[in-house]
Structure 1
Amino acid sequence: MRSAEVARYVWLAALCCVAMVGCASAPAEPKPPVAPTPVAAKSAVAAPAPAASAAAAKPTEPEAAAVPLAAQRAFDDARRALRAGRMDEAERGFKSVIQLHPELGGPHANLGVIYRQANKLPEAVAELELAVKASPRQPVYFNQLGITYRLQGQFAKAREAYERAIDLDPNYATATLNLGVLNDLYLWDGKRALELYDRYLALTPGGDATVTKWVADLKNRNKAAQPTAATERKEKE
């Protein structure tokens, strides 16, 4: 396996261990995974966003018009516990908010990420599916759902989730990159992967040296596979 491909697998593994988010009014624009430092939401219970570190928590805002003060405080307490690595406490906190307000997407999304970090993938998918149902216009939830589907080996569903995130926010660099990796390593669509990597780089201020190397590696791999269709099929096996 080429070193650049190994790097993509390592990056993807790190991406899937991200901590989560917040809960209240209009959705904020998600940002690319540039740092592990948590970003505060402008207001209340927010959404999960991926980062390049397993410890990152990146809240954004969900779609609920108003959240009762007690629920907001409970959510904030759970989010602080999550950021501090107190997973059991965070899980209890998000569950308590869900019990009173199951219509909020943020607590479901955070709980889904907790389950994913614990390798409870069916439970993670169930919570993230509830999150996108509760907040169908929150692209960050769809991105997190895509990551979890990918871990389950449900590549078609992962693609749909990433594409939905990008439909909701065409400038969502993180989902664009994730979809590129999915096409590159799991769907074996090098042409589409290159398009997505190029789009991600165009959306990333200052560029991304790692992804630039992936692009070069993929172009070289595609050239090596061009001589015959048989060679190309064999390489996919």
Structure 2
Amino acid sequence: MPHAAFAPSSRLRIVQAVTALLVALTVGIAHADDYSDVNTLLRQGKADQALAKADAYIAGKPRDPQMRFLRGVILTEQGKQADAVVVFTALTQDFPELPEPYNNLAALYAAQSQFDKARAALEMAIKLNPDYATAHENLGDVYARLAAQSYGRALKLEPGNTTAPPKLALVRQMFGAPAPDTLPPATPAVRKPVRN
């Protein structure tokens, strides 16, 4: 599955591209045209039209995982995180063998500073596909955020602590956040979807 490369930041990578497994679950060239049309509209910045086309398609084929996945990506791009969480959660329930919805759920959870939920979702994605590089990278980012929270908590509990501040500064430097000891860890944002 193609993924765009991103510079280090506080954002987790959200996946838009569809895996071979998702493609294998769908049938027919006409479907591919519909997916392509939705992706094209999204790339052109016409998210509302892409969502309308995805919804129309899903109305006729409500179990189609690929279009439902694209719908979740569109909602994420539109800033409708709660709706996107519903879409990706439903995909994990209906198609528990697919790792990509778990990855995207993790990105949404991390954006809400729900790092334990993000970690659990990424661990499931990796369990399903141990070679899923994006999920491994995102899990590393989540662990770094959890570490920053722990270092920050240690400093609050023991203000004279001399070992936590350099560690906290290092984690914050990774994410481009200021390093003062007194600031809470920065909240990550959902990365814009990868576009083909």
Asked if these proteins are the same fold (TM beyond 0.5), I'd say yes
Amino acid at match of 1:103: R
What CA distance in whole angstroms lies between the structure 1 residues aligned with 2:59 and 2:71? 12
Distance 1:12 1:110, change over 3 A: farther
Query: After the TM superposition, which residues 44-193 of structure 1 pair with which residues of structure 2 at under 5 Å, given as runs?
Result: 61-62=21-22, 65-186=25-146, 188=148
CA drift at 1:68: 4.6
TM-score by length of 1: 0.55
> Could you list the per-position Cα deviations for residues 114-146 of structure 1 after superposition, in whole angstroms to 9, with x for gaps in the alignment?
222222111010011122223221212211111
1:125·1:145 contact (CA, 8 Å) conserved in 2?
yes
Q: Distance in 2 between matches of 1:100 and 1:187?
A: 46
User: Which 5+ residue runs of structure 2 have no aligned equivalent?
Assistant: 1-6, 151-163, 171-180, 185-196
Query: TM-score scaled by structure 2?
Result: 0.65
Flag the 1:101–1:84 CA change in 2: closer, same or farther, 3 A: same
In structure 2, do the counterparts of structure 1 residues 117 and 65 end up closer, same or farther at CA, with 3 Å as the change threshold? Answer: closer
Partners of 1:140 and 1:122 lie apart in 2 by 17
Question: Relative contact order (alpha carbons < 8 A, sep ≥ 6): 1 or 2 greater?
Answer: 2
| Runs of 4+, deviation exceeding 3 Å | 63-66, 68-72, 186-190, 234-237
Aligned residue pairs, count: 156
* Cα 1:95–1:12 shift into 2, 3 Å: farther
Pairing 1:221–2:181 present: no
What whole-Å deviation, never above 9, does each CA across 1:141-176 have from its counterpart, x for those lacking one? 211111011112322221111000110111212111
**8 Å contact 2:100–2:125 — kept in the other structure?**
yes
Q: Distance in 2 between matches of 1:119 and 1:87?
A: 11
Give the equivalent residue in structure 2 for 1:45: none
Q: Is the 8 A contact 1:104 1:131 kept in 2?
A: no
Does residue 20 in structure 1 map to residue 16 in structure 2? yes
Taking only the aligned residue pairs, the percentage that are identical comes to 29
Distance 2:147 2:80 in 1: 24
Unaligned runs of 5+ in 1: 1-6, 29-60, 191-217, 225-233
Q: What is the CA-CA distance between 1:235 and the residue it aligns to?
A: 7.9
**RMSD of the TM alignment (CA)?**
3.4
